[in-house]
Structure 1
C-alpha cells in the first residue's frame, strides 16, 4: 500500500503538537542531527525519524504523513527485503497497531496509519529508512547539494484532510564532500591570436558538486606562446570552489590544451583551444534543456532556493559551466503560481543578457501525452504566459510549431515524442544526449519519418548544478521506468551540452545557428569538431554528382577511440584514431552513400560522445544499395565465454550479489567481466551480458567507488543509444506485468 497523499491538495498549515526529530546514522556510525548539522551528499547510512504524539489521542484511522521537498530519498522504499537497499522499519512503544506505508518516493514520502487501537498522547514511534541492522545496504543521501525540507502532516480522524505540525518545516542542508575528485578548466573553444580570455577553474566532488570549502592549490605548466596564465592558483574560502583566471592570451595559431596538477595529484587539463589569426566562425556552448525553480510534479525543484532561483541558474551556467547561452526553465509550473514563475524567468533573462558575453533564452517544458517538449523562445521581453504544461500536443503545435522565433525541442525523457499519436509538420531541434543517457535511436527514428532536426545535447538538469561536468545520478536511468527492473538504474545528472557554430555571440546569430542545424552535441566534452561535405557545414543540403568530399577536423578532450560515419541507416566507415586529434579528407563515390543524410558519431576513451548535426544528401536518382554495410547500430559478434580474467573480475561477486537482492538474476545471462574504465564521471567495472528472455546485448557499468555502488544498464555493447526504446520497452514491460 502506497503512502496516503496529504500534500498539496489535502494539507493545511497548522501547529499540531506532534514532534518529529530526524537524524542520519552513517555507515561508519557517525550521527548527524538535523537540521543543525549538514549532511554530505552521497553518504551511506540510515535515516532515523522519531515521532512523538504530544497533541491528543489518535484513534484508529488516523494518519501521519511525511512530506519531502527539494530532495529524493529513494526510488522505491521497501519493507520486504531486509538485505536490500532502502529497507524500512517501524518500532513503537504504543499498544496500538501502527502500520508503515512506503513505496515510490513521491512528495508524500511515507505514512504511519493507526490500524487498530489508539496512539495515545505521550507515545512515540521510530521509523528507519535504509535500516542496515539486518545486513541491508542502507540508504543514500541525495547526490546533489540542496536545501531540503520535510513537513509532517496529521489527519487526526481519518477524514482525508491533514494539518501541519508546530515544528514544520524541518529544513536542512546537503553539502558537498570535502575532497575534490575532479577539476574542470574551461576556456574558449576558438580564440583569436592575442585576444584576452578567461579560464574557469572549478573543483568538484565525487558527485560533481562544487567543493566550496576547498583551499588547495593548482600548479600550471607553462606553455610557449601563452601569457597571463599564473604559475599556480590557490583557492580561497571566498572562491567557493570556483576561480576565474582573467586576461589569458595565446599569441600563436595552433591547438592548445592548458595543463596543470592539483595538490592532491589530480591532473587539470583544459578543453582544446583552437587559436586562429582571424576566426570567421566561433563555437559557442550552452545547455538548451535544464531546470530550476518550478516543479509541481516531482517536487525536487519546488522551493525557490538560492541554488534553484532562475537568476542563480543563469549565473551558474555562465560561471561554473562557462556557458555562452542557456535556457534554464521551470519543469512543471505550479498551476496556481504560473505568472509568478514565468515573470521570474523573464526577469532573469533581462538581468543576464549581455551580448558578446552571455545570451539567455526563455523556455518552459510542455508535457502533452504525445511526448515532452522543451519550448524555447528566441525573445523574452514580450513573450506572454505560455500554455499550461498539460496542454495537448495539437494545441502546443498550433501555438508554437510554425513560429520562426520558437523551437520545440524533442527530448529523451521523461517521455520521448509519440509520433504515432501526433505528428507535427516539423521537428527542428532534437536532443540526442541528456541526463538520461544517449539516444541515437531517437535521431534515427526522426530521420526515417522525414524530419530534419538540428541535434543538441542537454542536461535535463533537475537539482544538479548548471554547468557541472557529467555526474552519476542515482535513480535517473531508463531501467525501472521504461524497461522492467525493480530498482531504477543510474544515469548522468549533469554534463551534456550543445555547440552552436556562429560568427559572433548574440541572440540572432545563435538562433540562426540553431535553426540552420550548424550545431553539434556532446555528452559533456568541450571538444572542437568541424565537419564539411563538399565544403558545406552541418545543416546544409548537398547535391551529389559523382563524388562527395568529406573533411573532418576534431580536437578532443581525451583520446578518440572510435569515429563512425553514419549515412542513412548504415555505418559507412569507422576509424580508431587512439589520439587527441583527428583529421580526415575522404572522397566517397555517390554509390557509396546509401542514405539521404550523414553525420558523425565520436567516442573518447573517457566515455564521452559527440555527434555532428546531419548534412542532407540529394541524390540524382534512387538511393544506392547498402550492400553488406552494417546498420548504424549493428552489434559486434562477441563470444562472451572467451573473455578471460581482467580488472573487472574482482567486482563480479558484488554485482551478482546486488542483482540477486535487487533484481531477478535469471534475466542476466552470461554475465561477463570486461574491464575497469576510467570515465569522466568516475571509475567503473564494465560487464557484458544478454538480458531478458529476448537475450538482448547489454552493457553494465558498476560504479564501485561510491559508498553504495551505482549501476547503469544500456542495451548494446556500447552506450550511444543503439536500441529503440519504443520498439523494446513497452513489450518487455507488458511481459513483466503479465508475469512472463
Structure 2
C-alpha cells in the first residue's frame, strides 16, 4: 500500500503526540499514513460481500477498534460515492424507524456502548459535501457513553432482515469494488482520518433483457468491416453471464452468423472480417433464441475509400479517481468492448487527481491505445467555477502532458483536494496561458461543457477552444452552447457522456425508484429526455493524429447517442469550415437516421432558415440561401428523429 511509503517519516513519534500535534488538513495519502501509524482500527464486511443490481441485500460492516481506542464522543464516518439506492446525486434512504421496510439499519457493539447515527445527505444545511467530495454520502456513527477499547467492535447492518425488511436497496449499476470509505475520529476532537483499507462490495449485473448491435459506420466494397453484439440487463449493465444463442444477419445481403455466448465472452462478442460486395446502406440484425432482438446503426459501404470516415467516441468520462466509479482501465475497456466506440478519453477532475493517479491514467491510456482499432487520448477536466471560466476538458494528441489543476469551491479541509506545491490555474485565462507553453503543431484542445460549473463564453482562446460539448448526461444544452456562437466563437459541435458510472460511450440510462414508482431517468436534470451523447468525427485515419485533427479542425457533429449519419456543406466547404462572403450560399446536406427522421433544419445565425420533413429514415437536400452570406454568419444542420433523438453538425462560418 502507498501509505507504507511514509511510515519512516513518523517512526520516531508517539501515536498520541503525532495525532494531536500535526496539522489536520493533509492530503488523503498523508492522512492514511497517520491513521496507520495510530492504529485506529480496521473495517470489513462479514458474510455477504456481493449483491445484484436493483435488488436488495443484507450487509454487515464490522469496525474493530485499534490500539488508539474509540473514546466516548469518538465517531466513525462511512462515506460512499454512491449509496445503496440510486442516490449518487444526493440523500440517503437508510432508516431506523420501521424494521419491516426497506433499508432498515441496525447498529450493535461488543460492549453495549450506545451509538448515535446521523446521516449527512449531499444537499441541504447538514451536507458535508464540500469537506468530503468525491465521497458523496456520509453516515456518522458516534459513541455516546462508554469508551470502546482495542479489540471491541461496532457492527453496522445495512438492510437488517430480522424484522421483515427485504434488505437494503442496491444501486442500479454494476461495480467491481463499491467502497464504504471509513473515517475515524478516535478521541472525539473532530479530526477524521481515513483508514488505509476500506471494505468493498461487488455489485453484479442482472440477467439479459436487451441486445445491442453496433456496426462500423463507413466501409468499402470488399474490405473487411466489423460488428459488435452485446447483451444488457434491465438497468443497462452488461449482462456478463449471458449464455444465449443469437442469430445474426445483414440486410440486404446474404451474410449470416451465429453467436453462441460463452462465459469468456462476458456478454459481448465482436465479429470482424465481414465483407460486403455492393455499395449501399446496410443494417445488421440480431435475434436471440430466447426472444431478444436488435438492429444496428446504418453502415455506408462506399465504392472506393472516402478521404475521411466517421468515427464515434466519448471524450468525457469520470472514474473513481474523481467522482465516478471504476478504474481508468475499466472505463476504457467498457468503451472498447461494449459501447464499441472508436476513441475515448478518461477526464477525471484534476483537483481530485493525485500525481500517482495522473501517472496511472497516462500509462493506461497509452497501453490501451491501438491504432486502427481503438484510440485512447490523455485528458482531464479543469473544474473552475463559472465565474472564472467554468468546466473545460483538456486533451492532447501526445503520450504525456502536465496536469494543471483548478482552485475550487471545496473546503480546504477536504483530504482529496490537491494541496501540493504544483502551480494551479485560478482562472481559465491562466489555464490558456499555461497550456500555451505546451502548444505546438495543434497538439492541445480545450473543450468547455455545461456540467456542474458550466463553461463561460466570456473568455475564449481560438487556438485551444476548438469545440464545445453540446450534449451530455447532464442535459441537452443547445441553449447554453448557442451563447458561444452568438459571441462569434468558432467552436465545433461535439457531445460526450460526462459519464460517472463506468460506462464510456453509453451514458446514464437508468431506472430510478421514486415513491414506489419506476420512472425512466435519463439525466440528473432532465428526466423527460432520453438517450446519451456521442461525438462523431470525420477522420482521415483511426489513430490519435487522424481523430485529433478531425476534432481540432471541427469536422465533428454531436448526437444524443444514436449513430446517425450526417453530411453538411456550404459552398462545398464541409462542417467546421469557413467560406468567403457572397450574395448567396449553396447548402447541401444528407442524413441517414437510425429510425424515421422527423425534421431536418438548416439553421443560420441561430434561426431556422429552411426545414425538411422527409418522412423516412433518409434525407437529402440542396438549398440556396439567397439572403446573402455576410461576414460573421454561420450555418449548421439540426436533425430530430421521430423517437426524439437528435444530431447537430458543426457550423460553417462566413469570413
Give the TM-score of the pair, scaled to structure 1. 0.68
Whether the 8 Å CA contact 2:590–2:620 is kept in 1: the answer is yes
**Cross-structure match for 1:198:** 226
Q: Structure 1 residue 277: deviation in Å? A: 0.5
Match of 1:100 among 115, 118, 121: 118
Q: Structure 1 residue 386: deviation in Å? A: 2.3
Task: Give 3-state SS (helix, strand or coil) of 1:399's partner.
Answer: helix
Consecutive unaligned residues in structure 2, runs of 5 or more: 1-23, 123-128, 408-424, 514-522
**Cross-structure match for 1:576:** 613
Give me the whole-angstrom Cα distance separating, in 1, the residues matched to 2:455 and 2:177: 33
**Cross-structure match for 2:393:** 374
* Number of equivalenced pairs: 574
Matched, 1:291 2:318: yes
**Cross-structure match for 1:234:** 260
Consecutive unaligned residues in structure 1, runs of 5 or more: 23-32, 302-306, 476-484, 619-740
Task: Give 3-state SS (helix, strand or coil) of 2:538's partner.
Answer: strand
Give me the whole-angstrom Cα distance separating, in 2, the residues matched to 1:7 and 1:90: 33
Task: Give 3-state SS (helix, strand or coil) of 1:462's partner.
Answer: coil
Q: Deviations over 1:522-565 (max 9, x none)?
A: 12111211112222211122335343322221111122223233
Give me the whole-angstrom Cα distance separating, in 2, the residues matched to 1:221 and 1:319: 21
Ranked by relative contact order (alpha carbons within 8 Å, sequence separation 6 or more), the top structure is 2
**Cross-structure match for 2:48:** 34
Q: Deviations over 1:148-186 (max 9, x none)?
A: 2224343232023446779x53222111112x2332212
Whether the 8 Å CA contact 2:601–2:612 is kept in 1: the answer is yes
Task: Give 3-state SS (helix, strand or coil) of 1:316's partner.
Answer: helix
Q: Structure 1 residue 103: deviation in Å? A: 1.9
Counterparts of 1:275-286 in structure 2 under 5 Å? 275-280=301-306, 281-286=308-313
Q: Structure 1 residue 49: deviation in Å? A: 5.5
Q: Structure 1 residue 253: deviation in Å? A: 0.9
Counterparts of 1:74-153 in structure 2 under 5 Å? 74=87, 75-77=90-92, 94=112, 96=114, 98-104=116-122, 107=135, 109-115=138-144, 126=156, 128=158, 139-153=169-183
Give me the whole-angstrom Cα distance separating, in 2, the residues matched to 1:69 and 1:97: 24
Counterparts of 1:295-374 in structure 2 under 5 Å? 295=322, 298=323, 300-301=324-325, 308-310=327-329, 312-332=330-350, 334=352, 337-338=354-355, 340-369=356-385, 370-374=389-393
Match of 2:55 among 43, 50, 64: 43
Match of 1:246 among 272, 286, 292: 272
Give me the whole-angstrom Cα distance separating, in 1, the residues matched to 2:651 and 2:96: 49
Q: Deviations over 1:259-288 (max 9, x none)?
A: 131223232211100111013231111112
Q: 1:128 to 1:95 in 2, by over 3 A?
A: same
Counterparts of 1:602-681 in structure 2 under 5 Å? 602-618=639-655
Matched, 1:431 2:490: no
Task: Give 3-state SS (helix, strand or coil) of 1:545's partner.
Answer: coil
Give the TM-score of the pair, scaled to structure 2. 0.77
Matched, 1:267 2:267: no
Matched, 1:472 2:510: yes
**Cross-structure match for 1:385:** 402
Whether the 8 Å CA contact 1:41–1:176 is kept in 2: the answer is yes
Q: Structure 1 residue 194: deviation in Å? A: 1.0
Task: Give 3-state SS (helix, strand or coil) of 2:312's partner.
Answer: strand
Give me the whole-angstrom Cα distance separating, in 2, the residues matched to 1:433 and 1:352: 26
**Cross-structure match for 2:4:** none
Q: Structure 1 residue 205: deviation in Å? A: 1.7
**Cross-structure match for 2:415:** none
Task: Give 3-state SS (helix, strand or coil) of 1:577's partner.
Answer: coil
Task: Give 3-state SS (helix, strand or coil) of 1:397's partner.
Answer: helix
Whether the 8 Å CA contact 2:585–2:629 is kept in 1: the answer is no
Q: Structure 1 residue 46: deviation in Å? A: 7.2
Give me the whole-angstrom Cα distance separating, in 2, the residues matched to 1:410 and 1:72: 32
Task: Give 3-state SS (helix, strand or coil) of 1:76's partner.
Answer: coil
